Amino acid sequence: MLQSISRQQLITAAMVLIICLTVLQDFLEAGYHHFSFYLSESVLFKTYWLLFIPVCILLRKVFGSMKARSVFLTLPLFVLTAVPLHLLLYGWSVTSLSFLLLDHTYTVTDTVAYAIAADLYKYLFVYSIIGLAFFRKQAPQETAVPQVQAPLPVDNLCINTGKNNMVIATDSILLITAATPYITIHTADKKQLHTATLKSIMDKLDGHRFVRIHKSAIVNVSAVVSYTSRLNGDYDLRLTNGQEVRLSRNYVSGFRQHLDMRSSS
């Protein structure tokens, strides 16, 4: 039975109950102070409770499309929009209903002035609670970003040589150079063409051992015997097989960091 009742129906029922209780409070207060009690006027002036529902529905659509960076920045804007809107609707509704149902009509300005004097704190409190609940629910929850583990470097490369496939241990590679659309893999005693790019092959190699030294060359740091400055920012690297290769000035810093890591390990 309760499951078939919507949340909006429950809220409406709660508002009606509040109106009944506040009307009862007016009746008791009038009896205590020996005032005249008019049920129609008491109910009329307590209808502001029902206006919380349409105002919240309207502002939820407006503020729901906004991406709130902070609850404490958006909440005051919500409250300062809701309260004047509610007061204006309340003034017009009391004026209209009193014109239709009573023998005298209350003006909008008098009704709004009365509401501000008697019930402003209620408006601020209720809309602050509603706004806080809405924006805290709306705020995106931070989710942990799964860490993607980098693939482990390979120990061997499979090189296609036409009909045959050759397996080369990465430890034996001294140098890899670009030879578009291929790359050339240099070992101590031979060179071998391979269909790949420097970037794709670098992703497979041990980044602590192999380093880019030029836009078209990767070197095995362990194979470097010495390096000599060209006095223009570039260097000449001499490898264990006597081969020389240029180290571009743009890659000197990374090369030296790799040398330091190799010497410290």
Its CATH class, for the domain covering 156-264, is mainly beta
On the question of pLDDT at 113 being above 60, the answer is yes
Domain boundaries, the chain: 2-138, 156-264
| Amino acid symbol at 247 | L
Summarize the confidence of residues 192-214 as an average pLDDT.
91
In 3-state terms, what secondary structure has residue 216? coil
pTM of the predicted model over 0.75 = no
Contact of 209 with 223, CB cutoff 8 Å: no
| Amino acid symbol at 115 | A
Q: Residue 123: how many CB atoms within 10 A of its CB?
A: 22
Residue 73 Cα distances to 29, 136, 249, angstroms: 40, 12, 50
pLDDT for 9-42, tens place per residue? 776 777 778 778 877 887 887 787 777 777 877 7
In 3-state terms, what secondary structure has residue 155? coil
Which residue, among 23, 30, 16, has the nearest Cα to 45 in the 3D structure? Answer: 23
pLDDT for 115-127, tens place per residue? 899 888 888 988 8
pLDDT for 122-171, tens place per residue? 889 888 888 887 777 665 555 555 565 667 888 898 887 667 788 899 99
